[in-house]
Structure 1
Amino acid sequence: MKKLQLLGSTLLCSTLLLTGCQSHEDKVKEEKKQEAKKKADKKKQQKIEKDYREHAKTFFEDMYTGAHQVNMQLDDHDSEKNDFKRRKNALEKDYKKYKDGMDKYPIKDKKNKQIHQFITDIYKIDKANQDYEGQLYDIKGLDNKIVRKLLCQEYFYYDMAMLMLGEKYENLEFEDLFDKRTVDYINTIITDGGNEPQNTLATFIAHQGEDKQATKAQIKRLPKIDLDRYSKIVTEKDDETKSADRTNKAIDEVNKRLDKDSQISHVKGSVNSHFYDVIKAEDEMFEHQDEYKEKLKQAEAQDK
């Protein structure tokens, strides 16, 4: 009987040892399996992040050759309208292509997420600008000279918004993320091809006070220069802002100098302090209006 008990105990111990060994082996196998999965997932994610950069590069190139490529004759009103339609269609088509493609790229990399937000902000600013321009072209009978005058002011604020956007994302250091050609595309998009915003504003100011203005009926349909639409895109939480009350007082001062068809809308909330500074600068630039008018007159004479 004792021998049977001893044999039973031995068998039980052996079984427990075998079970323990199997449990350990299973645990080791599971750990190796999980480790292999982590490596595979990491490799897969790295490919996603790399492929996303190529996707972003394609968007910048599409924007450079499409929505940000101007092809028109300045003395042909139909050419201007047709080129606007082309740029508008290009913006929507290229952004849709980018956005739809994002289904393939569930990005997690911090830099890539910033690039994605940068692209989204570019689209929002371009869309706001094109909405304004489109409303001008939709006003029946609006003289082309008036359209150009108003677009000078709109493009001044658009250019300033783009420069602020570049400042917002300067920590991205695009030179370290993309090849030189793509960086050049980005710089051209942000700086409007190196255009100097103050020259655009000077042209606008030179045209103020001319006899030709929009009719009362047309003025009712004119889109106003609305700084809220740009400020909310380029402003971050820590950025310095100016209150709506203070900004609107500055706007009122500028509006006193502007034609009735060129008025700037009051802002509804606080705006980026850069926009406040720009409004004050526009007011001050009127002190040189005669100089701008003379330069514009000379330039127009040379073009004839």
Structure 2
Amino acid sequence: MSEKQPLSTSTTTIPANTAQVSEAAAIEHGALPARTGGATKQPLPRGPFPLDIPVLNQLRGKRIILASKSPRRKQILSSLGLTNLEIMPSNKPENLSKEDLGPFEYVLQTATQKCLDVYQTTLEHSLVSIPDPALVVSADTVIVSHHGRILEKPRSELDHLNMLKMLRDQKTHKCYTAVVALAPREDARYPGYNIETTVQETKVVFDDLVSDELIEAYVKTREGADKAGGYGLQGMGSLLVEKIEGSWDNVVGLPLRATLALIEKAVLNQDDIPLGEETEDDII
């Protein structure tokens, strides 16, 4: 019997740098984090991050009230990093006279009334465990037709149809949004708070070629049923609009840049003397 021959074996030699090449490729394609100094470098957190400015840093963690139940206003204001907003709409009737005041004063006084009502309500029902609000923001939006008619939310489907057809036929109209920011005064000087206001105007041009069928189909979506003027520029309502002149988010319901400026004035300008509180020494 012949002796058994040893089993043949084969050896594959792996290049010394293969593992390094594979790791480098994996890092390049994002499968592995990069190594720095022998340690794994943690991936950077993704933004966006809150704005790092004094007024927002001062308000962070404090009680902030939005005196509106509009989800669009909440979304716009939250984009500043004020994500823990307390929603508390005013229950006071909006019964000011449009005819006597006109669109500018009407929208301004309505927004001011909402803000003061919510602030006073929080003080009347304050608890030891719940701090007073550091900021209250309110807003009101109206659409004003080319002939000066003030339009708010449609009252019915028929009213909604007629409203949009009128805006289309008149081609152009204006959107007014009033914003009010209220912050308690640290020195408690009368009336105990700073209040700042603004009214922003945007011109909206409807497409006069929009058909009755499109308007009827849009009304049935119910998107614009809870909006001043009966349409939402940020949604399907943009199909009705040819162009705007001014702030886009003003038509949506809260002009962000103007709102931030108001918040800064109300919260940070605590040394200003409120209107009507000037002394003789202050009058030149």
Q: Normalised by the shorter chain, which TM-score bucket?
A: under 0.3
**TM-score, reference length from structure 2:** 0.23
**TM-score, reference length from structure 1:** 0.22
